[in-house]
Structure 1
Amino acid sequence: MKVILLQDVKGQGKRGQVKEVSEGYAQNFLIPRGLARLATDGNMKTLDQQNKAEDKRKAQEKADAEALAAKLNETTVVLKAKAGEGGRLFGAITSKQIAEALQQQMKLKIDKRKIELQDSIRSLGFTNVSIKLHPEVKATTKVQVTEE
């Protein structure tokens, strides 16, 4: 019996896949629990439309991320911090502070976990910071740390 999986089923497959399973397994377990539905022509067309809508949504998300990346690549974020001799900072600039500065200066809401800093910024000057906007799109913005 062919069924369309509505959710991931361990040992069977992922959501949206069409699988051939035994009739008893489908009738007694998958369908009553809402894990699958019969693979009729109507249900197959609905699945196809859902897949097309999902692909379109993902393409739109990627396009939006690329537009934001182009904007961020041209941006310089300016942060002020107290510094001592030789341009060393008292403390450090973290990804949280960079996210807050982006929020204030550009009105962009970017999650601090998407900002990829290998180590906190501990000196004055310019630093290139990578921001992961989408699994396939990264932006690089400059962070300028100046003395207060």
Structure 2
Amino acid sequence: MAKLILTHEVTGLGAPGDIVEVKDGYARNYLVPRGLATGWSKGAAKEIEAIRAARAKRAHATVESAAAVRDSLESKRFTVAARSGAGGRLFGTVTTKDIAEAVVAAGGPQVDRRKIEAKGHIKTLGTHQVVVHLHDEVAAKVTVEVVAADA
């Protein structure tokens, strides 16, 4: 078992700054090469505190403010234009960055793209549901409409 410090959010494992124990192969082949975690050491306490301070700064201050943002996000539909071929298949995928930009373009709040979670890749035109994690206890289910872009 490898002991690591998470530097990014990993679904099902933890948030930045958390100390986790995972199997050696998962750490060596996935988490560390992708920059999602670093090795644990005694001197890493300062790094953990810096990560937690940055996360607290980016997060919504209270559950109530996060709930207000959730209500505003869930009441709207956000449109993402993407190039598509025959049958409604996209050339590529709609990324979390595209979704975050669509939220801001529609007059919504600034959303961190790392807090957006889509079930699988969005590769077709139509309506899709994504989850935006606003606070540890608050998540918004956002409707994203993918439409064909004019070429």
TM over 0.5: yes
TM-score tier after normalising by the smaller chain length: 0.5 to 0.7
Counterparts of residues 1-148 of structure 1 (less than 5 Å): 61-148=62-149
Q: CA RMSD in A?
A: 1.8
Secondary structure at the aligned position of 1:100 is classed as helix
Q: Which residue type is aligned with residue 97 of structure 2?
A: K
- State the number of aligned residues: 91
- String of CA shifts for 1:56-109, please: whole Å, max 9, x gaps: xxx961100001111111111101111111100011101011001111112411
Q: Which runs of 5+ in 2 are unaligned?
A: 1-59
Shift of 1:120: 2.2
CA distance in 1, matches of 2:107, 2:124: 23
Q: Distance in 1 between matches of 2:113 and 2:106?
A: 15
Deviation at 1:123, TM superposition (A): 0.2
Output the TM-score relative to the length of structure 2.
0.57
Q: 4+ runs of 1 displaced by more than 3 Å? A: none
Tell me the SS of whatever aligns to 2:111: coil
Quote the Cα distance in structure 2 between the aligned partners of 1:85 and 1:60. 46
Between structure 1 and structure 2, the one with the greater Rg is 1
Give the TM-score of the pair, scaled to structure 1: 0.58
